[in-house]
Amino acid sequence: MKNVLKDHRERHGESQADLAAAVDVTRQSINAIERERYDPSLELAFKLARHYDCTIEELFDPDPENDAGP
């Protein structure tokens, strides 16, 4: 699943470890999500969205069709 988690994290001046501590997961989990190797649980997606005061849809795009080029 595509995401812009790294963009949000960097905009807020947070390290992966900072974000992980804030949402109660490991830094490795944040790294895997940012690298699109792991899809977060719904609970974690909500925590991340709440942390950045945005919607889940602003962080994650589950539609692979949105990647299709012209």
**Domain-located, residue 47:** yes
Residues 6+ apart with CB under 8 A from 63: none
At 12-62, the pLDDT tens digits run 999 999 999 999 999 999 999 999 999 999 999 999 999 999 999 999 998
pLDDT for 69 equals 46
**Domain-located, residue 69:** no
**Domain-located, residue 29:** yes
Residues 6+ apart with CB under 8 A from 33: 3, 5, 39, 40
pLDDT for 62 equals 81
CATH code of 13's domain:
1.10.260.40
- Domain limits for position 10: 2-61
Q: Provide the pLDDT confidence category of residue 66 given band limits of 50, 70 and 90.
A: low
**Domain-located, residue 66:** no
Give the global pTM.
0.87
**Domain-located, residue 67:** no
